[in-house]
Amino acid sequence: MLCATTSLSTRPRNRRYTPPSVPQLTDLFPHVTITNGFSNFFGASNFLLSGNGSTATLALDKSSGSGLVSKNKYYFGFFSAAIKLPSGLSPGVVVAFYLSNADVYPHNHDEIDIELLGHDQRNDWAFQTNIYANGSVSTGREEKFYLWFDPTAEHHQYTILWNNHHIVFMVDNIPVREFKRNSAYPAIFPSKPMSVYATIWDGSKWATHGGKYPVNYKYAPFVVSFAEVEMSGCVSNTNTTVSGSCSKNSPSNLDPVEGQEFATLSNQQAVAMDWARRKLMFYSYCKDTSRFKVLPPECK
């Protein structure tokens, strides 16, 4: 998994907001048990199931982080998890819920990332989104936000909606970022089937203030809980196209987020996204002129 190198800014902690009302898209899709949906990816000794397989706790300690990978690969879909983050100081800790096909396309991979970045005493957890397409590893498309709640107190929903029209990142169903597909530059849009990953790992080199604050293992283990997982998408197989609409050969390969209600944001969702970006976003690659002498084309 590839990472950003930009540092976090600082702000007073515990600033809380009341978000706008939005449709609860997570109510539309079924939950998948961890046992049915995932296999161990790494760090099996730091992985624990509970709730008849509906909840997984993953830990990071000196010996290892830990992670899960979906049993299926998906082409488009709705992917969500209720996540409760580690409490206490957590510099350098990275909790991720993301899609990737780097295992199949190591030099030409796609990736859609939700990364939750740990904090030192001056900062809350940060919510980072990122997109890579067709091996565009030199042009990460990061945007970073603070959250309007304490993500360590209880579970909150973190969601990726990916279809032929756009990618939407949501927190508790509030859209915080929309990345539209554009026919003028199609190569920057993820276009190949991907696996779903849930991980916790040591991002000391970059995660907190650009690597200034590494993981302090005297606070370990750092434990994250994943529950209420939803993975509704085209299940990729040999008959599934990777460049057009989803296969119509079987119901398992129909795109559950292709309908008009998922093609664009509703007015209510657009208002909520504007709220989130005005109140909570503190970094966007489209405004980073020190990093990009020429901004990526979609920024113009």
Domains observed in the chain: 25-299 (2.60.120.200)
- Per mean pLDDT, which range of 126-130, 268-272, 290-294 is the poorest? 290-294
Whole-angstrom distance, CA of residue 234 vs CA of residue 62: 38
Q: If pLDDT is split at 50, 70 and 90, which confidence band does 10 have?
A: very low
User: 102 and 128 in contact (C-beta within 8 Å)?
Assistant: no
What is the predicted pLDDT for the residue at 300? 82
Q: If pLDDT is split at 50, 70 and 90, which confidence band does 209 have?
A: confident
What DSSP designation does 197 have? E
Instruction: Point out the residues that are catalytic.
Output: 111, 115
What is the predicted pLDDT for the residue at 241? 44
Mean pLDDT of the chain: 89
The arithmetic mean of pLDDT across residues 155-169, rounded, is: 97
The more confidently predicted of residues 138 and 61 is 61
pTM score of the predicted model: 0.91
- The beta-strand segments (E) located in 63-194 are 66-70, 74-84, 93-100, 111-117, 126-132, 143-146, 156-162, 166-171, 174-180
Instruction: Look up tokens 């489209």; give the residue.
Output: 286
DSSP string, 129-149: EEEE-TT-TTS---EEEE-SS
Instruction: Quote the percentage of the chain above a pLDDT of 70.
Output: 88
Distance (Å) of CA 34 to CA 14, 57, 266: 32, 10, 31
- On the question of pLDDT at 246 being above 80, the answer is no
What is the predicted pLDDT for the residue at 208? 84
The arithmetic mean of pLDDT across residues 179-197, rounded, is: 94
What is the predicted pLDDT for the residue at 6? 43
The more confidently predicted of residues 154 and 121 is 154
Q: If pLDDT is split at 50, 70 and 90, which confidence band does 247 have?
A: low
- On the question of pLDDT at 61 being above 50, the answer is yes
- On the question of pLDDT at 22 being above 90, the answer is yes
The more confidently predicted of residues 107 and 47 is 47
In this predicted model, what pLDDT tens digit does every residue of 25-46 receive, in sequence order?
999 999 999 999 999 999 999 9
What is the predicted pLDDT for the residue at 1? 60
What is the predicted pLDDT for the residue at 87? 92
User: 125 and 116 in contact (C-beta within 8 Å)?
Assistant: yes
- On the question of pLDDT at 7 being above 50, the answer is no
The arithmetic mean of pLDDT across residues 195-208, rounded, is: 93
